[in-house]
Structure 1
Amino acid sequence: MTAWRTEGGSAIDRSRPLRFSFDGREVEGFAGDTVASALLAGGISVLGRSFKYHRPRGLWGAGVEEPNALVDIAGGMPNTRATQALAADGMAVRSVNAEPSAQKDRHAFLDAFSRFIPAAFYYKTFMFPDWHLFEPRIRQMAGLGTLDAAAQGPAFAEQVNHHCDVLVVGAGPAGLLAARKALRAGKRVVLCDDGRQAGGSLLFRAATIEGKTGSEWAADMAAELAGGGALVLAGTTAFGIYDHHLAGLNQKGGDGAPDRLWRIRAGSIVLATGAIERPLPFGNNDLPGIMSAEAALVYLRRFGVAAGRKVVVATNNGLAYETAEALAAAGADVTVVDYRADAPPPAGVRVLAGRTILSASGRGAVHAVRLSDGSVLEADAVLASGGFTPTVHLYCQAQGKLDWRDDILAFVPGRPVEGVTVVGAAAGDFGLPAELAERAGRALGIVAAWPEPGTRERVWIDLQNDVTAKDVELAVRENFVSVEHLKRYTTLGMATDQGKTSNVNGLALMAELTGRRIPEVGTTTYRPPFTPVPFACFAGARSGTRMSPLRRLPLEKQHRADGAVFRDYGGWLRPAYYGAGPADTRIQAEARAAREGVALFDGSPLGKIEVIGPDAAGFLDFIYYNTMSTLPPGRCRYGFILTEGGNVYDDGVLVRLDENRFVVSCSSSHVAGVHALLEEWRQDHFDRRRIFIHNATAEMATLTVTGPRARALMEAVGFDIPLDDAALPHMAVAASTFEGIAVRIARISFTGDRSYEISVPADRAAALWARLRREGEAFGATLLGLEALMILRAEKGYIVIGKDTDGTSRPMDFGLTAPLQRKKAEFIGRRSLITEDATRADRRQFVGLEAVDGKGVLPTGAHGIAREGRGVRSAGYVTSSYFSPALQKPIALGLIERGLSRMGDIIELQHLREIRRARIISACAFDEEGSRLHA
């Protein structure tokens, strides 16, 4: 290929030259060039290597249809279409699937063995002796580009939700006209196009509209639309249509900015997505220098690059003649090989009518073509036009069905889809809309030029996936005659190409081989995305703290002043322990002090979700495994919330404030999930007018006073209610005040000692904490971090969801069987609790574990093992393990097979190849009778 720069080029600015590198070679270009147009102008014909055989490949297209020219751009842009990446000064571009370069690839020898590696050879070749022997090397060779792990991607990508009356996809003539009609009708309009400039085919095909050139009219139309209030999104690809007219749009960033994701909900959608030119099937039709005729016209008129000096334009239709005439006018020697016998010859161009190309020849690039009459034409560029395939991907995603049109030899939208209209070339109308055309354009006048079975030379059907006509023939011989089977057996139409250039030729060949018509063969399923979308675009702003926002306590400042060491617990930044020194020493000291005197703990993250209304009690019966409607006002009850699969999702205390008002106190890390679950079931299963849900977790802080001297400290603070067991027994709640502010005091304990949980408005928490600290000095009050709290609760055998449970844990595994046997009301997960799996005798059950080998604390995560013959298997594992300062010995909790029926048994545990021994005991290792709750 001897491409060269010509005069003109509407997309480039010749006053702003630039340079970048490709495979280490310097390339010159201009602002506005794509990587592809600059490489073409620089005479670089080999841009990559094919996926399977590593054959040299050059440019085919000029836009999203490009199957060959995928490149890696330094800075975190792997597998980028060179046709869609703007060239930038100083950028480093490398070819993909080639070592060390596209021009000289050390794996090019694979093509010599192509006869031994046809379609599906992996399935047949690597079965013996074991696939796993070959898998590592095959995976290493798979893929195209290479992700630069060191490259820093964008910190975030913006995501925008938008509503409009009409979304128009495609800013070619049909799309611009549709947008103008909608805007003038008073509609809210969004117009998007994957090009950087509105106009579509008007930017490179000759047209006169309303007295202006096509490009001038398109620019004026875009300005009129934007000025009239329409949202015009250039460089934006509609990659998917989803339920209820939701469209996903990927807007390309510029100057290093990340892409933007648009989620647009439209009243109606107009698809003006155009059509894609098909390759012509002939031998060696994948050689560099063989290009789409329309793409060559784009490069000539948009970028000022002629594809070659001795050019053959091969076509089975009339639309390719504009390319031939334009290149001839630019100074190229052009010959048209027209498959149609009655083609009218245009002035100034040599036409060979009624002939076809049988094969191309050349080493590394096309040098000549052999025609059906036996003649040979020298050529440094072959521009092929095998007809046009309407871009119906989005229409099919919207559940549209296709019809076949013999006059254009293509699939077009069939039955109407509510709210979706297809116009222009996407609907099979390749000329200007009737109301815009001032003169008739060149007719398509197409004749069939499908792949023929049995050709000796390789005819490439899918350029991206290295699928040849012989591969399709092999699939048919092996009875893979369904189009979906053909796709998977040969990889035809897979990867980023998604059949844009290959599908129809492949379908036509299968139809010929199986004695069917093309529409009888059908098409594969079109799925989003239409073109690849960066992961960062889908992730949006969800990175770092944007992905998982770190939640902070109202009293963080006070805790820091007290020397707290913070850690992340379920997304909350909370004190792990207080003070300087070794962490284990401080944690043990806090736990010991809490058992011996009184401790203060900040439990503000605990859920405080209010459920209010006349049907609240029945609603909570449905939500909880336990019966909650019998709970008297002013009392609390512990319970489980299950999934529909019967597994434990959360636990916590339910507080009943009055007849129709409850507070769900759920686990700190599950507040959002429990709130969503409550709202989901309220909406789907209950009368929303009789139940109301309010998440007050962030509004209220919860401060806990726990330990044998807790009551004395509470009384010293001076609350206006009695705090003895008669007035406020364990698992009771009462209203009080602190400095004139209403507070709620509950006798709930997560330590096993007498405890009071005080819920106070978050903005008054600091004052209450200061008062508790001041009054606590007389009682030797200690500050309790979360790590010491975990020891205290483990001594009592209290579970932590997600730590002492897993995704299979059910209430019966914790010895809680009564609700299932006695509860009459329906509840979430009930039916799942009576399945064969739920009632297995060998389920893992929650128990205590006492180390009996004198080796200290059992490792958390150590597996209980069951010996079977010469092997072992896991029979459960240790969920929590600590040294207890109150008991002066190690304690542990675990989920062990049949644990509740094996009390006293000695089991073996394995951790990092070390064998430990432990006795199964009750989960409660401290104060099993519960007397300290009332001390």
Structure 2
Amino acid sequence: MTKAPDETGIAPQACRLETGGHIDRDRTLRFRFDGRTLTGHPGDTLASALLANGVRLVARSFKYHTPRGILAEGAEDPSGLVALGRGARHEPNTRATMTTLTDGLEARSQNAWPSLRWDAAALMRPLSAFMPVGFYYKTFQWPPQVWPLAEPVLRRMAGLGTSPRQPDPDTYEHRTAHCDVLVVGAGPAGLMAAWAALAAGARVILADERASLGGCLLKERTVLNDAPAADWVQTVLGELTSDSRVTVLPATTVTGQHDHGFWLAAERIYDRPDTDPAAAGPRQRLWHIRAKQTVLATGAIERPLVFAGNDRPGVMLAGSVRAYLNQYAVAPGHKAVVFASHDEGYRTALDLVAAGIPVAAVVDPRADVRGPLPDRVRALGVPVRDGYVIGDTRGTASGGLSAVSVHRYRTGGDMVSVGEWLDIDLLATSGGWNPTLHLHAHTGARPIWDAETLAFQPDPDRGPAWLAGACGGLKPLDAVLLSGREAGRGAAEAAGLRLPEGGSPCPTVAPDDPAQATAGTRRAALWAVPKPAVANGKRFVDLQSDVTVEDVALAHREGLESVEHLKRYTALGMGTDQGKTSNVTGLTLLAAARHQPIPEVGTTTFRAPYTPITLGALAGTATGEQFAPVRRSPLHDVQAEAGAVFQATGLWLRPRFFPRDGETLAEAVQREVRTTRERVGMVDVSFLGKIDIQGPDAAEFLNRVYVNGWTGLPVGKVRYGLMLREDGMVLDDGTTARLAEDHFAMTTTTANAGRVMEHLEHALQVYWPELDVRLVSTTDAWAAIALAGPRSRQLLTFVTDLDVSNDALPFMGVATGDVCGIPARVFRISFSGELAYEINVPAGYGETLWRRLSQAGSALGLTPYGSEALGVMRIEKGHVAGPELDGRTTPHDLGLGRMVSTKKSFIGHRLLERPALTDPDRPRLVGLVPEDGRTRLLAGSQIIAVEHAGAPPPIPRLGHISSACSGPSVGHPVALGFLTGGLEQWADQTVLVTYPLKGTQVRARVVPPQFYDPEGSRQNA
């Protein structure tokens, strides 16, 4: 190792081993961390490159702002969170261990000010005794005046990284794939499973969260078939990638298991070794995978030991130390101690010695340790302190590890010696391994505690049928390889494939390989080392959320005995790592406090995603204008020519108004309303939902879904209908015309068209399958234009031979014939309160109809109007619409109770009769006008009693305003709203309409909701 420091104080390549590793030493990559330019090699992660440059301090902790370094080398790492990129490409809380090193990468530390080395917030560490878990729940709640002052400070200090504010410039995409066998994990078991499934003829998807495939075979000095294990990995990958039936997905995290073989996987394309980050294309891809069978070969996560000062940079997991040594050719330190409660730690000692790094001691809490690995370590002259533990640590000025204290340990939890301090800069710890069973548990499978391995194992009788390798509890390498082969073959057979004779052979593992030498060794159930009396460091269980052993005990003393309550009160396992290295230790400590066996305490719930997914990947291409499909009326282009200003209404682009000569919105709406009321207006109503209903039982079907009767409706007539949900609340309203004895044309509101269609289909298929009725949505098949105003009949006679007189086509009638030479349906219905006709023609003729009506109506003063004017006129007329049909109202609330038939049953009938829904004190629809005749009433305003004007909250609320407008046709502002007791209690009385967000209060008079032409003489003209 070279150790030549430069003027920055960092020794470039100070910890890079001179040989070994799976990196490309012929190429050098430059990157920046906290403003310093450093170098690495292809094959590095950001974490390995930082360690290779001697950078140990990479972050500050969440709560106490203590120095933190790299603990692990994979997705389980809780400490090494950094921010990548700048500006719009700023990505916070990214694991350095999972970030592939690329040329020009820029990374920064987070949660520190003014710098990582000198963090001002760390000055609060001496006050940590006054900040136990939940302190903010209790400290700042009394007196009440304290919390408003404390909350902004706590919010500013909370969190780790900061989110970018600019729009994301990168693209993301979704892809759907189907396979016979999905293999999750490309370690030894996963490679064998994919190889065996392919040999059986299966279509295989192999996904692994790491950019470099091979798992532990790259991280260990293992020999397979008398050659380095990496050679076998390349052979298998070569066969898999060369076959068109196999899709290999490196840098792809399978994040969740869902029903019926559906899996989500997030592919980090920029992290793939074969991808040029400068090339155009998506940054990430979310895979939707349907698999007939799945093999989980997700491995295991090493569990750290808990002791005082265990959070210092330089304290690492033993297995991760081996990975940095063997895969990345990086020495995480220059002098080491190994502290492990089982034989696995001795493998780390052997690898450290092989890399030329002195090992001061192997510390093992078990007494009289013997076995192949301990004996090999002793033979190398490494002291083995069996029956000892690490009690405390010391650190440098920057927080890095500089020494550890070693104490004799007696089974039962006592330390019986004064600590001996060893000067080191690397401590490799291991408390055992937890199978990575998260995906297995996503279906609700509960893990099973195994007292021999001191870990939760997956339940083989639930979840995915095929578990392979360490994820299923197996550790010896030959057993891992064999389980992978059998799982792959079994999955292929379960997928319906015939297996050939023979199959993919398992490679041979040397009997004396360290990977074989740990099977069956006894493990020490050491969850937390007792704290020496003179130790100053905290014993951290969760290094990301700063949860300590004492925090777990405090939560138990305060009555939070459930693991779910412990998790939420202490934040144990609630960070971005989801407690991968801390959950098991935390719940075992809780079990000890409860004096109960570990299985009885149980585990928290495993939920997707397994690791965080960027929101961009979840959205894919559905952003901006592509967030949802845009629906345009058949008349869109011709209305755009007429100067329409469009507005998104749900998925539809609707013309809002048609300005002329620089008119404002208000001026244009006033003109459109006035012209329509005085002469004639034309509006596009193609947006309304249209459903064609046919069949011998069509009338009976409508009778069952509407509250009013339909069997007696004559052919050629239209009826207004109201339909309810099963709970008695209004679902939708609209008109339905009877075109023949067995043929009806229904219209729905724009917003509820899809919901109504679903409701009707459900009723036919589930409630009344015996009815002979067919439904089809025809919304897109028709263009619809409504003519409204006193001259609408005159205009219509110019363009049709139909008799549209009041006698021939009365209000709520329908006729079929040609309009402007186009086959059409003409409905005599009115939403505006004026004499009106709705003309439906095939969608392809919509523009022609609009142009011809415009030409014919020019002499009559025809004006097009938009949704704003339409809304104004319907409020003036007192017609209910979306704001009133909000899912919380009944027919009685809307003043339509007389429509409800008492002679038949219909959907929602029984629940509509509930006392609460017929209570006369329920809020009912009313009209309101300002007493001064000029102040606008705002939709969303609250209605209170006049005597409560100026009273402090809370104030009893009488109701609210649902719709309001300036009322140009009646000469004063008007509003529709809901008032407790309705007109029966409040007619002609004065109430106070208040809008707290704007600080307005307006006195208003309660009147009937029909402001304009309440007798209906104009629409019946």
Give the shorter-chain TM-score range: over 0.9
Partner of 2:325: 300
Partner of 1:447: 523
The 3-state SS of whatever aligns with 2:879 is coil
Q: CA deviation at 1:501?
A: 1.0
Partner of 1:879: 962
Partner of 1:144: 160
Contact conserved, 1:599 with 1:783, CA < 8 A, in 2?
yes
The 3-state SS of whatever aligns with 1:822 is coil
Please give the per-residue CA displacement for 1:404-456, whole angstroms capped at 9, x wherever unaligned.
Answer: 33332221112412543221001111122234443332224242133245654
1:404 aligns with 2:418: no
* Distance 1:793-1:196 versus aligned 2 partners, 3 A rule: same
- In the alignment, the residues of structure 1 paired with residue 746 and residue 32 of structure 2 have an alpha-carbon distance, to the nearest angstrom, of 62
- In the alignment, the residues of structure 2 paired with residue 672 and residue 108 of structure 1 have an alpha-carbon distance, to the nearest angstrom, of 56
* Distance 1:468-1:779 versus aligned 2 partners, 3 A rule: closer
- In the alignment, the residues of structure 1 paired with residue 918 and residue 190 of structure 2 have an alpha-carbon distance, to the nearest angstrom, of 62
Please give the per-residue CA displacement for 1:446-481, whole angstroms capped at 9, x wherever unaligned.
Answer: 421332456544322221222222223333444444
* Distance 1:907-1:25 versus aligned 2 partners, 3 A rule: same
Contact conserved, 1:18 with 1:88, CA < 8 A, in 2?
yes
Q: CA deviation at 1:643?
A: 3.6
What does residue range 115-126 of structure 1 map to in structure 2 within 5 Å?
Answer: 115-126=129-140
Which of 255, 266, 278 aligns to 1:250? It is 266
Which of 809, 822, 830 aligns to 1:728? It is 809
Higher alpha-carbon deviation: 63-72 or 190-199:
190-199
The 3-state SS of whatever aligns with 2:670 is helix
1:926 aligns with 2:1012: yes
The 3-state SS of whatever aligns with 1:303 is coil
What does residue range 414-425 of structure 1 map to in structure 2 within 5 Å?
Answer: 414-417=459-462, 419-425=464-470
* Distance 1:189-1:786 versus aligned 2 partners, 3 A rule: same
- In the alignment, the residues of structure 2 paired with residue 867 and residue 850 of structure 1 have an alpha-carbon distance, to the nearest angstrom, of 15
- Identity, % of aligned positions: 41
Which of 241, 266, 273 aligns to 2:257? It is 241
1:102 aligns with 2:116: yes
1:794 aligns with 2:875: yes
Higher alpha-carbon deviation: 63-72 or 317-326:
317-326
Partner of 1:488: 568
Please give the per-residue CA displacement for 1:796-855, whole angstroms capped at 9, x wherever unaligned.
Answer: 2112212x454432221221113445152231x434433344233333322222333143
* Distance 1:630-1:296 versus aligned 2 partners, 3 A rule: farther
* Distance 1:85-1:356 versus aligned 2 partners, 3 A rule: same
Q: CA deviation at 1:517?
A: 3.3
Q: Which amino acid aligns with 1:167?
A: L
The 3-state SS of whatever aligns with 1:223 is helix
Which of 344, 363, 385 aligns to 1:319? It is 344
Partner of 1:897: 980
The 3-state SS of whatever aligns with 1:309 is coil
Q: Which amino acid aligns with 2:976?
A: L
* Distance 1:785-1:515 versus aligned 2 partners, 3 A rule: closer
Partner of 2:412: none
Q: Which amino acid aligns with 1:246?
A: F
- In the alignment, the residues of structure 2 paired with residue 812 and residue 185 of structure 1 have an alpha-carbon distance, to the nearest angstrom, of 67
- In the alignment, the residues of structure 1 paired with residue 977 and residue 667 of structure 2 have an alpha-carbon distance, to the nearest angstrom, of 25
User: Unaligned regions of 5+ residues in structure 2, if any?
Assistant: 1-9, 271-276, 409-418, 483-505
Q: Number of aligned pairs?
A: 931
Partner of 2:860: 779
- In the alignment, the residues of structure 2 paired with residue 156 and residue 676 of structure 1 have an alpha-carbon distance, to the nearest angstrom, of 34
The 3-state SS of whatever aligns with 1:730 is coil
Q: CA deviation at 1:286?
A: 1.4
Partner of 2:471: 426
Q: Which amino acid aligns with 2:992?
A: E
1:850 aligns with 2:938: no
Higher alpha-carbon deviation: 699-708 or 477-486:
477-486
The 3-state SS of whatever aligns with 2:120 is coil
- In the alignment, the residues of structure 2 paired with residue 367 and residue 350 of structure 1 have an alpha-carbon distance, to the nearest angstrom, of 20
- In the alignment, the residues of structure 2 paired with residue 413 and residue 560 of structure 1 have an alpha-carbon distance, to the nearest angstrom, of 62
The 3-state SS of whatever aligns with 2:656 is strand
What does residue range 45-64 of structure 1 map to in structure 2 within 5 Å?
Answer: 45-64=56-75
The 3-state SS of whatever aligns with 1:100 is coil
The TM-score, its normalising length taken from structure 2, stands at 0.86
* Distance 1:209-1:860 versus aligned 2 partners, 3 A rule: same
Which of 918, 924, 927 aligns to 1:839? It is 918
- In the alignment, the residues of structure 2 paired with residue 465 and residue 847 of structure 1 have an alpha-carbon distance, to the nearest angstrom, of 54
- In the alignment, the residues of structure 2 paired with residue 791 and residue 356 of structure 1 have an alpha-carbon distance, to the nearest angstrom, of 79
* Distance 1:682-1:22 versus aligned 2 partners, 3 A rule: farther
The 3-state SS of whatever aligns with 1:376 is strand
- In the alignment, the residues of structure 2 paired with residue 664 and residue 377 of structure 1 have an alpha-carbon distance, to the nearest angstrom, of 85
The 3-state SS of whatever aligns with 1:320 is helix
What does residue range 687-706 of structure 1 map to in structure 2 within 5 Å?
Answer: 687=769, 690-706=772-788
Partner of 2:187: 172
The 3-state SS of whatever aligns with 2:313 is coil
Please give the per-residue CA displacement for 1:178-213, whole angstroms capped at 9, x wherever unaligned.
Answer: 222223323332221101132111122233445653
- In the alignment, the residues of structure 1 paired with residue 283 and residue 800 of structure 2 have an alpha-carbon distance, to the nearest angstrom, of 58
Contact conserved, 2:391 with 2:532, CA < 8 A, in 1?
no
- In the alignment, the residues of structure 2 paired with residue 629 and residue 541 of structure 1 have an alpha-carbon distance, to the nearest angstrom, of 48
Which of 936, 943, 958 aligns to 1:864? It is 943
- In the alignment, the residues of structure 2 paired with residue 7 and residue 392 of structure 1 have an alpha-carbon distance, to the nearest angstrom, of 37
- In the alignment, the residues of structure 2 paired with residue 677 and residue 899 of structure 1 have an alpha-carbon distance, to the nearest angstrom, of 30
The 3-state SS of whatever aligns with 1:377 is strand
Partner of 2:407: 372
- In the alignment, the residues of structure 2 paired with residue 766 and residue 631 of structure 1 have an alpha-carbon distance, to the nearest angstrom, of 33
Please give the per-residue CA displacement for 1:518-569, whole angstroms capped at 9, x wherever unaligned.
Answer: 3333222212221111122222322222224332222222223223333333
Partner of 2:746: 664
* Distance 1:826-1:490 versus aligned 2 partners, 3 A rule: same
Partner of 1:219: 234
* Distance 1:212-1:699 versus aligned 2 partners, 3 A rule: farther
1:394 aligns with 2:439: yes
Contact conserved, 2:891 with 2:900, CA < 8 A, in 1?
no
Contact conserved, 1:325 with 1:349, CA < 8 A, in 2?
no
Partner of 1:653: 735
Q: Which amino acid aligns with 2:32?
A: S
Contact conserved, 1:169 with 1:193, CA < 8 A, in 2?
yes
Higher alpha-carbon deviation: 757-766 or 215-224:
215-224
* Distance 1:644-1:455 versus aligned 2 partners, 3 A rule: farther
Which of 982, 991, 1001 aligns to 1:907? It is 991
Contact conserved, 1:196 with 1:235, CA < 8 A, in 2?
yes
- In the alignment, the residues of structure 1 paired with residue 773 and residue 179 of structure 2 have an alpha-carbon distance, to the nearest angstrom, of 34
1:560 aligns with 2:640: yes
- In the alignment, the residues of structure 2 paired with residue 921 and residue 819 of structure 1 have an alpha-carbon distance, to the nearest angstrom, of 22
Q: CA deviation at 1:657?
A: 2.6
- In the alignment, the residues of structure 2 paired with residue 422 and residue 647 of structure 1 have an alpha-carbon distance, to the nearest angstrom, of 49
The 3-state SS of whatever aligns with 1:134 is helix
Q: CA deviation at 1:28?
A: 2.4
Q: Which amino acid aligns with 1:450?
A: W
- In the alignment, the residues of structure 2 paired with residue 283 and residue 818 of structure 1 have an alpha-carbon distance, to the nearest angstrom, of 76
* Distance 1:125-1:535 versus aligned 2 partners, 3 A rule: same
Contact conserved, 2:738 with 2:744, CA < 8 A, in 1?
yes
1:7 aligns with 2:21: no
Q: CA deviation at 1:594?
A: 1.7
Partner of 1:474: 554
Please give the per-residue CA displacement for 1:7-46, whole angstroms capped at 9, x wherever unaligned.
Answer: 3465533343233332333332233322211211121111
1:32 aligns with 2:43: yes
* Distance 1:489-1:899 versus aligned 2 partners, 3 A rule: closer
- In the alignment, the residues of structure 2 paired with residue 860 and residue 575 of structure 1 have an alpha-carbon distance, to the nearest angstrom, of 21
1:163 aligns with 2:178: yes
The 3-state SS of whatever aligns with 2:233 is helix
The 3-state SS of whatever aligns with 2:779 is coil
The 3-state SS of whatever aligns with 1:626 is coil
Contact conserved, 1:170 with 1:193, CA < 8 A, in 2?
yes
Higher alpha-carbon deviation: 725-734 or 603-612:
725-734
What does residue range 740-819 of structure 1 map to in structure 2 within 5 Å?
Answer: 742-802=823-883, 804-819=884-899
Higher alpha-carbon deviation: 277-286 or 777-786:
777-786
- In the alignment, the residues of structure 2 paired with residue 9 and residue 625 of structure 1 have an alpha-carbon distance, to the nearest angstrom, of 80
Contact conserved, 2:933 with 2:972, CA < 8 A, in 1?
no
Higher alpha-carbon deviation: 671-680 or 108-117:
671-680
Partner of 1:830: 909
Contact conserved, 1:35 with 1:87, CA < 8 A, in 2?
yes
